[in-house]
Structure 1
Amino acid sequence: MRDIGLAEAQLLAIFVESIAFGMFVVLYGISLWVLRKKTRTQERKNRLLIIVITIMMILAIAHLAIDLARLLDGFITNGVTADATVAFYANLSHPTEYSKTAIYVTQTLIGDAFVIYRTWVVWNRTWWVTVIPTLLLVGNAITGYGCSYQMSKTVPGASVFISSLSTYITAFFCMTFATNVICTLMIAGRLMMRQKTIGSHTKHSLWPVVSMVVESGAIYSAALIAFLIAYLVNSNGQYPALDIIQPLIGVTFSLILVRVGLGLSSGVSDPTAPTRHGEGSQFPMGPLSINVSRLVEQDSDRDEFSKPSGSDSYDLKAV
């Protein structure tokens, strides 16, 4: 089957990236609204979420801006002929090329670091559950920025599929894929364990939260698999598959915030809606609140689940 041309792949890449970026902008705005409408105490706890998602937005804007600048350079300024356009995009050592790669790597590291943090919190701040994901994160940083450096040293016209780059690229995406699969399964598994604990005491469940965590992880993982397949078969289709991931990281990050905050999943209600003591089910972010009926449970670490004296309300930190 005929592979897509390099110039066509770049046009398609900026098209799909723009669509995903538009989705991120909408979800970013809703996420800020959801996080800002909490109580004063919750706002303080949500400050980290606001900072992280804002940094992700800035990086997504920077990446798209570079792609737009490259589009103008490739098709207008340096695109006198079709061959000239291809030659421009084939120059991996151009500053805009390895700069956008570094931006992408940074975005990935932030997303992976926060999913590791979520895992750590959900598992009662147990350090051993984060050992493997953290090692993978370090490996990601080394291979990701190493790839950007290697790109800056390539000669004009060098292929992105050359061995000096493919080793870094393949390792980077395999490790970020493994990080997200491991953390998603660990978060979902922990919540299912909690569901077994509270399931017989309340009609409400944690399954909506489990579903949202798994769905968000699946979206990102599917995008990574699509890229890896395209790259490993040496297809230029890897360019659009890659560029859509940059804003998609922010989309998957904010998707849980929006769905929980607006109560868009079955069994999840508006975090600001009042509920009677011992009844109802709420899952607001930072912390997620789970109201249960007459269940007394003591945990060694009260940072994840805490039960004040005389209360039937448990708090679960943001997942």
Structure 2
Amino acid sequence: MSGPPPAFKGDLTWDMATLVSWWVVGPLYGINICVFILCAHVLHMKGLKKWNLMLLFVATVQFVLATGHVVTVVVQITRGFGGSSIRTSYLLNQSTPVHVVQEFLYITNSLIGDAILIWRLWIIWQRNFWLSSPFVVLCLATAVTGYTALINLTRLSPTDTVFLPRIHNWLIATWCLSIATQFGATLMIGYRIWKAIRWNTNSIRESRLAVLWILVESGALYSVATIFLVGFSRTNTGTLFVAALGQISALGPTLIIVRAGLRGSPLSSNFTPVKGSINGPSSYEPPSWLDNRDMESGTRLGGSAASMVVHIKRATEVRLDDLEREDGDILSTDARSRSSKLPEYPLGYLDP
């Protein structure tokens, strides 16, 4: 038994695709170890309050699932290539307990990643049920199609492949639903952040834009890999993307926390919670050029009364100069009223 033939010129053989999948999974798992340690460190430095403990718990669960995934890959490679000859018949058998567990861990990790993204969407849109509910439905549909594919996988004969319609169609549906969830939720979160940063000062706007790019880049990592998987789903090369997604599904959520925390977002010590603030729990440190004497006199070093430090909206200390338009007028009442409509947790998808 030689396995499915290459689907196109340059496609890998089944044996080679299975072996190379380990070369893909190994380095990704090493990255997962480093990112998980950094994630735990960032959350610990922030303080183990309720939401940080929840994020740490979820990150730990995903890391454990990713560890189980890499163990099943090692077992599969060892049994298939550990003897004097390659056991192609074993590698082709998609209904072995090891392979079924491997796919179960991948699908479960993917669902957890989707659920975390939906939770961030719910937080940043001020717990809007109607906006979040379509994505909850998408996530539940992903679970139904994914686990249905797993059930059908256990019913395959040793000579059947995953390209059979009763397996392949369910898998395609699972991947497409997951892409829709990731893309749609990321787009909605990004739009909300973009609206929020329009009325911030330049320094805060740059910080929020950086966090926005962190979210987009981290989400794109999983989405792009899944899109490639759909494209190569009927080829032997698709095995590489399936193996990689078993690790990437755990990497994305923790990577967002780490990158945001190391940049100095609300996960860092540069931002301090402020009780009773109008629009959010975060406060920005005063600029370095401002000393205590200036704070007491209410003027900047130049003595200009127009540069008095005020505490407005999002409990952020800024200068009146930063709020002036090009013609020198202060923001209109209408603009200020619109700024009060910013989300309650502008970065709540990271740290509510």
* TM-score, L = length of structure 2: 0.76
Structure 2 counterpart of 1:254, which letter? T
**Which amino acid in the other structure matches residue 25 of structure 1?**
I
Work out the CA distance in 2 between the residues paired with 1:274 and 1:118.
Answer: 19
Contact 2:270 2:284 in 1 (8 A): no
Partner of 1:204: helix, strand, or coil?
A: helix
1:150–1:250 CA distance, 2 compared to 1 (3 A): same
- SS of 1:182 mapped into structure 2: helix
Corresponding position: 1:17 with 2:25 = yes
Q: Residue 81 of structure 1 aligns with which residue?
A: 85
Query: Residue 237 of structure 1 corresponds to which residue in structure 2?
Result: 237
Deviates further, 1-10 or 12-21: 1-10
Q: Quick one: which of 59, 62, 65 aligns to 1:59?
A: 65
Check conservation: 2:146, 2:170, Cα contact below 8 A.
Answer: yes
The residue that corresponds to 2:222 in the other structure is: 220
Distance, in Å, in 1 between the alignment partners of 2:144 and 2:214 is 31
Equivalent position amino acid for 2:42 in 1: V
Q: CA deviation at 1:81?
A: 3.3
1:202 touches 1:292 (CA, 8 Å); kept in 2? no
Cα 1:81–1:44 shift into 2, 3 Å: same
Report the CA distance shift for 1:292/1:115 in structure 2 as closer, same or farther (over 3 A).
farther
Q: Aligned equivalents of 1:298 and 1:189: distance in 2?
A: 17
Contact conserved, 2:92 with 2:158, CA < 8 A, in 1? Answer: yes
Quote how far apart the aligned CAs of 1:207 are.
0.8
Percent identical pairs in the alignment equals: 25
Deviation, 1:291, is 3.8
Note if contact 2:42-2:267 (Cα within 8 Å) is conserved in structure 1. no
1:112 deviates by 0.4
- In 1, the alpha carbon distance for the partners of 2:203 and 2:157 equals 64
The 1:129/1:173 distance shift into structure 2, 3 A limit, reads same
Unaligned runs of 5+ in 1: 282-288, 306-314
Other-structure match for 1:260: 260
The question of 1:318 aligning with 2:350 is answered yes
Structure 2 residue matching 1:293: 3-state secondary structure: strand
Question: Distance between the aligned counterparts of 2:24 and 2:188, measured in 1?
Answer: 31
Question: 1:135 — aligned with what?
Answer: 137
Q: 1:236 to 1:208 in 2, by over 3 A?
A: same
CA displacement 1:221-256 (0-9 Å, x = unmatched): 11111111111xx21111111111111122211112
CA distance in 1: counterparts of 2:240 and 2:315, whole angstroms: 41
Can you give the 5+ residue segments of structure 2 that lack an aligned partner in the other structure? 1-8, 273-282, 289-313, 324-335
Q: What is the 5 A alignment of 1:277-292?
A: 279=286, 291-292=316-317
Could you state the TM-score of these two structures normalised by the residue count of structure 1? 0.83
Q: Residue in 1 aligned with 2:318?
A: 293
Provide closer, same or farther for how the CA distance between residues 92 and 118 of structure 1 changes in structure 2, counting only shifts above 3 A: same
CA offset at residue 133 of structure 1?
1.2
Q: Say if 1:156 and 1:316 are closer, same or farther in 2 by CA, change over 3 A.
A: closer
Alpha carbons 1:278, 1:293 under 8 Å: kept: no
Whether 2:221 is the aligned partner of 1:192: answer: no
Residue 300 of structure 1, CA deviation: 9.6
Paired AA for residue 249 in structure 1: S
1:162 Cα deviation after fit: 0.9
Root mean square deviation of aligned Cα = 2.6
Q: How far apart are 1:292 and its partner, in Å?
A: 4.9
Rounded to whole Å, the distance in 2 between the matches of 1:44 and 1:224 is 32
